[in-house]
Amino acid sequence: GAVVSQHPSWVICKSGTSVKIECRSLDFQATTMFWYRQFPKQSLMLMATSNEGSKATYEQGVEKDKFLINHASLTLSTLTVTSAHPEDSSFYICSANSRGDNQPQHFGDGTRLSIL
Amino acid sequence: AQKITQTQPGMFVQEKEAVTLDCTYDTSDQSYGLFWYKQPSSGEMIFLIYQGSYDEQNATEGRYSLNFQKARKSANLVISASQLGDSAMYFCAMREGPWNNFNKFYFGSGTKLNVKP
């Protein structure tokens, strides 16, 4: 089945640091990838849709300048949390659609971000 | 209105018994897909089962089956013979419309299942 790889799994860093998270589709081309944020014991909240070769589409309330998304190739999307603060601490998870009505969104394993 | 509603924040089930996790959805599209995911405490999202809106039979995958009642707009997940490893969060999700590159998935709030030994 389709595999999505997300890196890193864990990040702990100081306030003010920028953090980059990578999401790769390993065995299929992903024109579109999705970035979610999840707080403990809550559902996934869609932050943005990442489109290869064009600007990302952000959901209402998500700061574009805080969460920079780049989708430079058909297999790689990156999310950069700029000047991170403790309130940005969360679980971030990416996904991609593979072709077909019966295909689920395939998820990376997620990144736990802790800002001290 | 919520696209996906899961009304059970938490459920307990005895090991080896069956359990039903509820999910209702809201869409005016004729073509859509319904999905269930399992999220253990480690965080990864594991795809369990899919039901297409035009599928006449309920989907089954091993111990998982989906009780699809289209008129009621419900897509309940049934787990038979529960195992301790089934303890996790379970999310119901929907893709509106036929597949395309840009489909968003809508997720429910999740149900935390605890399997008791």
Judge whether B91 and B110 are in contact, CB under 8 Å: yes
Chain A partners within 8 Å of B91 (Cβ):
43-44
Which residues on adjacent β-strands are paired with residue B4?
Answer: B25
SS3 category, A88? helix
Cβ contact, residue pair B107, A102, below 8 Å: no
Mean pLDDT of all residues in A47-69: 93
Whole-angstrom distance, CA of residue A30 vs CA of residue A52: 8
**pLDDT higher than 90, residue A39:** yes
CB contact under 8 A, A103 and B99: yes
User: For residues B83 and B15, is the Cβ–Cβ distance under 8 A?
Assistant: yes
Q: Which of A44, A58, A109 to mutate to test the interface with B (most CBs of B within 10 A)?
A: A44
A54 versus B77: the higher-pLDDT residue is B77
Q: How far apart are CA B9 and CA B22, in angstroms?
A: 10
Of A65, A69, A71, nearest to A51 by C-alpha is A71
> Residues of chain A whose C-beta is under 8 A from some C-beta in B?
31-32, 34, 41-44, 46, 49, 51, 91, 93, 95, 97, 99-107, 109-110, 112
Q: pLDDT of A94-105, one tens digit each?
A: 999 878 878 889
pLDDT of A30:
86
For residue range B49-90, what is the model confidence (pLDDT) as tens digits? 999 999 999 999 999 999 999 999 999 999 999 999 999 999
CA–CA separation, B105 and B117 (whole Å): 34
CA distances from A32 to A35, A82, A97, B21 (A): 10, 22, 7, 30
pLDDT at residue B101 is higher than 80 = no
The pLDDT-based confidence of A1 (bands split at 50, 70, 90) is low
Enumerate the residues of chain A whose CB falls inside 8 A of the CB of residue B44: 107, 109-110
**Model confidence over A105-115: pLDDT tens digits?**
999 999 999 99
Could you tell me what percent of chain A has a pLDDT over 70? 99
What Å distances lie between residue A91 and A38, A75, A108, B74, B90, CA to CA?
A: 5, 22, 12, 29, 17
Q: Which residues have CB under 8 Å from B33's CB, separation 6+?
A: A101, A102, B50, B51, B52, B53, B94, B95, B99
Residue A2 has pLDDT above 80, yes or no: no
Q: What pLDDT score does A103 carry?
A: 85
What length does chain B have? 117
* pLDDT surpasses 90 at B8: yes
User: According to the model, what pLDDT value does residue A53 have?
Assistant: 85
Give the contacts of A109 (CB within 8 A, at least 6 positions apart). Answer: A5, A6, A9, A93, B42, B43, B44
Whether residues B104 and A109 touch (CB distance < 8 A) is answered with no
Residue B2 binned pLDDT confidence (cut-offs 50, 70, 90):
confident
